Structure 1
Amino acid sequence: MREGITIKSLLIDLDGTLYHGDRMIKGADLLISQLRTNQIPYAYVTNNASRTPESVAEHLVSMGIEAVSDEVCTSALAAAQYVAQQGPGARVYCIGETGLRQALTDAGLQLVEDHPDYVVQGIDRQFTYDKLVAAMRWIREGATFILTNPDLQLPSQDGLTPGAGTIGAAIEAASQVKPIVIGKPSSVLMNYALDRLNIRADEALVVGDNMLTDIAAGAAAGCKTALILSGVSTRANMDGHMRAVGVKPDLIFDNLDELQDWLQEEFK
């Protein structure tokens, strides 16, 4: 299964792949050090739309994983670029937190409270019924509905919490309009990361713990994929996840140590 794979760069998932919450997964720091030592291009690719790239990098560094903000690709950044390319300077009604709002304004978009061209929604822990009403009305009047990422649940120290996809489901039900999805399992976020690294899809290896998002998105973008059995997809549920998305990973590793060994052989 590992024969014939040639790659030049890595697109790496975060939660469940390099860390669980505030705890680094064994080998994550060594993996990144290995990539840097061997000058292998890589990017951190995350569905998280609430944090800025600077905040994501700080979180990684706090656990001992080397990172700078330029290495971080979030669904917020990809969503902002998507909207700015479709409608430069467009009016946007934003349902989201700091990372999304900053990405939109940095892309030259106008954050407005009425008559938007786009409704862009991510995780919003201050979501209200009034925001739902506004989003529904603007979308029904013609605003394009953009969803940063479809994650229904998020892990927290107190257990699972509703994710951006749960809020998106409410807006979709109210407006009767399906959103354009940017984050994994969509290929849009992966294509954004590929453009940032200036590499072709067939030169990239997507590394992640979730068949339903990471591996599905990598396959959709035309990348090679490596499943790490450290998070959502496990030996027990892996076959079911493969059937659910209709794709198989090119590589499967039990842990990051195995991935590092493979990379060592690959980049001799």
Structure 2
Amino acid sequence: MNRKQYQGYLIDLDGTLYRGIEVIPGAVHFMKRLVESNIPYLYLTNNSSRLPEQVAKHLRSFGLPATPEQVYTSAMATAQYIQKNHPRSKVFVVGEEGLYHALIEVDMTLTDREPDVVVAGIDRTFDYEKCKRASLAIQAGAAYIATNVDRVLPTEEGYLPGSGTINIAISHASNRKPVVIGKPETIILQYALELLGTKEDETLIVGDNLETDILTGVRGGVDTLMVTTGVHTRLDVEKYNITPTFVVDHLDKWEI
């Protein structure tokens, strides 16, 4: 089905490899074929809450081959962006463990007093006080960065408020729009390609979401493989006017 041999894969997680607490049929076989073919890959996720070690452990619990070095999160990309564009900054964080850890790893000073940068990601303890502190800091001149703007977070309970919901509140209160790092923006894509060591025209993005995974590839000039096991279906392609390079119903249908 595929017209060329891709030298690297960027692979989404929830909806692509698993749904909640269940692995998607064909996902393990797909990943094992990549390993057997010696094709490098990164698990690319917008979820900024977990450490790479935690993501890898979660993937291995499904039988998927994963090491921390094969995981790249929006938290890691955000930390990389801040290190490059706002070195030695004081940062106010709205987020969870993965984001805090990523920022500490690049020697940022975390504070809630007169920060240079406000960073917001998924935060399940988000409240009025955090929104107030973030918006006041942004109004005072702090740079405003969002790990991602996914409206919802899929869970076993259903779709819960995501980073995008939190950032809408902060953006509305501060009257500022953030620099967005995660999918579908190309900042995370460029950093992931550098880490993977492949070029745009030899890499394939695999995902289930037209508005994040597939749009990232469209914007970044990278071929995309949409699998219809998650958020969107074949019918949605025309509805959203976002066209994947390839569409399959199961990853087993894809020839490595």
Instruction: Report the TM-score, using the length of structure 2 for normalisation.
Output: 0.97
SS of aligned partner of 2:159: strand
| Conserved? CA contact 2:89–2:116, under 8 Å | yes
Match of 2:249 among 235, 246, 254: 254
Residue equivalent to 1:124: 123
Counterpart residue type for residue 235 of structure 2: A
Residue equivalent to 2:203: 204
Residue equivalent to 1:46: 45
| Conserved? CA contact 2:224–2:245, under 8 Å | yes
Residue equivalent to 2:112: 113
Residue equivalent to 1:170: 169
Looking at structure 2, the residues matched to 110 and 221 of structure 1 have their Cα atoms a distance apart, in angstroms, of: 32
1:65-76 aligned within 5 A: 65-76=64-75
Counterpart residue type for residue 129 of structure 1: Y
Residue equivalent to 2:144: 145
SS of aligned partner of 2:235: coil
Counterpart residue type for residue 250 of structure 1: T
- 1:178 Cα deviation from its structure 2 partner: 0.4
SS of aligned partner of 2:234: coil
- 1:4 Cα deviation from its structure 2 partner: 4.0
Name the stretch that deviates more: 187-196 or 39-48.
Answer: 187-196
Q: Deviations over 1:122-149 (max 9, x none)?
A: 0000111011111111001111110001
| Conserved? CA contact 2:206–2:226, under 8 Å | yes
| Conserved? CA contact 2:90–2:110, under 8 Å | yes
- 1:235 Cα deviation from its structure 2 partner: 2.3
Residue equivalent to 1:59: 58
Residue equivalent to 2:78: 79
Q: Deviations over 1:173-195 (max 9, x none)?
A: 00010000111111111111101
- 1:70 Cα deviation from its structure 2 partner: 0.3
- 1:3 Cα deviation from its structure 2 partner: 6.3
Residue equivalent to 1:102: 101
- RMSD after superposition: 1.1
Q: Which runs of 5+ in 1 are unaligned?
A: 264-268
Looking at structure 1, the residues matched to 181 and 129 of structure 2 have their Cα atoms a distance apart, in angstroms, of: 24
Looking at structure 1, the residues matched to 137 and 52 of structure 2 have their Cα atoms a distance apart, in angstroms, of: 29
Percent identity between the two aligned chains? 44
Q: Deviations over 1:9-67 (max 9, x none)?
A: 11000000000011110111111111111100110000000001000001001111111
Q: Which runs of 5+ in 2 are unaligned?
A: none
- 1:108 Cα deviation from its structure 2 partner: 1.1
Looking at structure 2, the residues matched to 53 and 122 of structure 1 have their Cα atoms a distance apart, in angstroms, of: 16
Residue equivalent to 1:188: 187
Instruction: Report the TM-score, using the length of structure 1 for normalisation.
Output: 0.93
- 1:88 Cα deviation from its structure 2 partner: 1.5
